[in-house]
Structure formats: C-alpha cells, structure tokens
Amino acid sequence: MDKLAIIEAIAPALALPFIAITVGWVLTTWMRIRNGYPLENSWGKPVYPKTDQESIERIKLITQENAQLRAELGSIKDRLGNVERIVTDDAHRLTHEIEALRDKPAN
C-alpha cells in the first residue's frame, strides 16, 4: 500500500475531531453571546461587550418589568392562599358561615 492510499484512509478520521471541536467552539460562543455571558480572550480573561445607550435603556425596562411581575406574583400568591383555605376548609363550617351571612339582616 502506498503512502497516498494510507493518507486518504486516515484523513477523514483525523479531520473529524477538528471539525467537531470547531463546531463546539462556535456553538459555545454563540450561546454565551445569546445569554449575555462574557467572552474570553486568549488568556482566559473575560471580554465584556460594549454597552450603548440602547442596552442601558433595555436593562432599565427589564428591571421595571421584573419588579411589576414580582408584585403581581405576590398578589397571586395571596389569592391562591385564600382559595386553598376555602377549598381545604371543613365543608360543615363553610356551610355554617354561608347560612350565618344569609340570616344576617341587610342594612
């Protein structure tokens, strides 16, 4: 078997790891950029992207929306607590309270 045939036989096996490593590096970099993680330079130090005014405004809006959603979640938790209390309450006591409200004279 000549040298050219050996190289042709081994070449795909040698090229595959290099292709896999390159694709993995590209995907990792893409995911870091997409999720806001800092990139790294050749020495492993983080390289943060430059922030412009649009990014700062977007961060402010997201922070405000986060605060509103947290407040809404707190009110939903309170309402859910009341619903749980009603559902798990003793049926006899609940019926008794309803009848007491019906018997109460209207103002």
Classify residue 89 by its DSSP letter: S
Binning pLDDT at 50, 70 and 90, where does residue 101 land?
confident
- Under the banding of pLDDT at 50, 70 and 90, the label for residue 106 is low
Q: Find the DSSP H helices in 1-107.
A: 3-35, 53-88, 91-103
Beta carbons within 10 angstroms of residue 30's beta carbon: 10
| Average pLDDT along the chain | 84
pLDDT digits (tens, 9 = 90+) for 16-57: 889 999 999 899 888 888 887 777 777 877 777 667 788 888
pTM value > 0.85: no
Asked if 66 and 58 touch (Cβ cutoff 8 Å), the reply is: no
Confidence (pLDDT) at 67: 96
